[in-house]
Amino acid sequence: MKKIIVACGSGIATSTVARNALEEKLKEKGIDATQVSMDQTSIPQLRSKADQFDLAITTGKFTEDIGVPILNGLPFLTGIGEDALVEKVVDVLDLKPKA
């Protein structure tokens, strides 16, 4: 199972929106909860939790090296570029739809 952490300023508001959008888009692609687990955190806490995850998605600016790939989750909030971001998530984690 691949693990994704979604981070925003507080770990509550926009990370929830981004997480829900990603879960929905992955489900549409045939990728379900048995393949991916997600958690949320605040951007300040991201450094201390990153080593437990395969991918980090942030809704705010974050460029620090934390040892895992980081994707900008802003498209999940605006809808602009959302499909391209989902494809990046799928590619980075090498996810395949369930048969």
Q: Is 28 a catalytic residue?
A: no
Catalytic residue among 4, 7, 8, 55: 8
Domains of the chain and CATH, by start: 2-93 (3.40.50.2300)
| pLDDT tens for the 99 residues of the chain, in order | 999 999 999 989 999 999 999 999 999 999 988 899 999 999 999 999 999 999 999 999 888 999 999 999 999 999 999 999 999 999 999 999 876
Report the predicted TM-score, pTM, of the whole model to 2 decimal places: 0.94
Q: CA quadruple 54, 60, 65, 71: dihedral positive or negative?
A: positive
pLDDT at 99: 66
